[in-house]
Amino acid sequence: MFTCHPHSETALAETSRALTFSQAINEAIRLEMRRDSSIIVLGEDVAGAAGRAHLGLIDAWGGPLRATRGLITEFGPTRVIDTPIAEMGFVGAAVGAAMTGLRPIVEVMFVDLIGCCYDQIINQAAKMHYMMGGQLELPLVIRTAYGTYGFEGRTYGGGAAAQHSQTLYAVLAHIPGLKVVVPSTAYNAKGLMIAAIRDNGPVVVMEHKFLGTSAKGPVPQESYVMPIGKAEVVRQGRDVTLCGIGRMTHVCLEAAGDLAQEDINAEVVDVLTLSPLDESTILESVKRTRRLVVVDEDTPTASMARDIAARVADKGFDWLDAPIKTLNAPNTPVPFAAVLEAHYVPRAHQVVAAVREMLG
Partner 1 sequence: MRGESFDNSLQIRQSLETQTMPNDEAWGSLSRQQARWIYRHLNLIRQFEDKLKWLVETGVPVGAVHYYTGQEAVAVGVCAALEAHDLIASNHRGHGHCLAKGVDASRMMAELYGKVTGTNRAKGGSMHITDVRVGMLGVNPIVGMGAAHAVGAALSAKVRNSDQVVATFFGEGAAGIGVLHEAMNLAAVWKLPVVFVCENNGYAQATPVEYAIPVKNIADRAAGYNMPGTVVDGQDVIDVLQAAKVAVKRARERQGPSFIECKTYRYYGHHQGDNPHRYRTVEEEETARSRDCIQRFRKQVIERSLLEPEELEALEAENSRVVDQAVSFADASPVPDLKELYTDVYVPSP
Secondary structure class of 157 (helix, strand, coil): coil
Site for partner 1 in 156-215 (CB under 8 A): 156-164
CA distances from 21 to 1, 40, 102, 247 (A): 12, 21, 26, 11
Closer CB to partner 1, 11 or 55, in the complex: 55
CA distances from 47 to 40, 41, 86, 144, 215 (A): 12, 9, 16, 16, 23
Asked if 70 interacts with partner 1 (CB under 8 A), we say no
Q: What angle, 0 to 180 degrees and rounded to 10, lies between the N-to-C axes of helices 186-198 and 21-35?
A: 30
Asked if 336 interacts with partner 1 (CB under 8 A), we say yes
Residue 169 · residue 231 · CB < 8 Å: no
d(CA 215, CA 19): 8
Residue 210 · residue 185 · CB < 8 Å: no
Closer CB to partner 1, 48 or 246, in the complex: 48
**Nearest distance in Å: CB 162, partner 1:** 7
Of 30, 127, 154, 311, the residue at the interface with partner 1 (CB under 8 A) is: 154
**Nearest distance in Å: CB 130, partner 1:** 26
Asked if 8 interacts with partner 1 (CB under 8 A), we say no
d(CA 165, CA 150): 10
Q: How is residue 13 annotated by DSSP? A: P
- Contact stretch for partner 1 (CB under 8 A) within 20-28, 54-62, 210-218, 235-243: 54-62
HSE-up (13 A, CA, CB side) for residue 166: 20
Q: What length is written for the chain?
A: 360
Of 78, 100, 155, 261, the residue at the interface with partner 1 (CB under 8 A) is: 155
5 as an active site residue: the answer is no
Closer CB to partner 1, 87 or 239, in the complex: 87
Site for partner 1 in 223-262 (CB under 8 A): none
Which residue in 5, 7, 129, 164 is the catalytic one? 164
Residue 177 · residue 202 · CB < 8 Å: yes
Q: How is residue 309 annotated by DSSP? A: H
Closer CB to partner 1, 115 or 276, in the complex: 115
- Contact stretch for partner 1 (CB under 8 A) within 23-31, 59-67, 206-214, 288-296: 59-67
**Nearest distance in Å: CB 310, partner 1:** 17
Asked if 302 interacts with partner 1 (CB under 8 A), we say no
Closer CB to partner 1, 156 or 360, in the complex: 156
Closer CB to partner 1, 134 or 153, in the complex: 153
Residue 239 · residue 266 · CB < 8 Å: yes
d(CA 359, CA 240): 9
Asked if 79 interacts with partner 1 (CB under 8 A), we say no
- Contact stretch for partner 1 (CB under 8 A) within 41-49, 129-137, 178-186, 279-287: 41-49
Please state, as a whole number, how many other Cβ atoms lie within 10 Å of the Cβ of residue 116: 15
**Nearest distance in Å: CB 141, partner 1:** 22
Of 12, 66, 89, 311, the residue at the interface with partner 1 (CB under 8 A) is: 89
d(CA 61, CA 58): 9
Site for partner 1 in 96-125 (CB under 8 A): 112-113, 115-116
14 phi/psi in degrees, rounded to 5? -65, -20
d(CA 125, CA 131): 11
Helix, strand, coil percentages (3-state) for the chain, rounded to 5, are: 40, 20, 45
Closer CB to partner 1, 160 or 359, in the complex: 160
Asked if 153 interacts with partner 1 (CB under 8 A), we say no
Number of residues in contact with partner 1 under rule CB under 8 A: 49
Interface residues with partner 1 (CB under 8 A)? 44-45, 48-52, 54-55, 57, 59-61, 82, 84-89, 112-113, 115-116, 151, 154-164, 300, 330-333, 335-340, 343-344
Residues annotated as part of the active site = 164
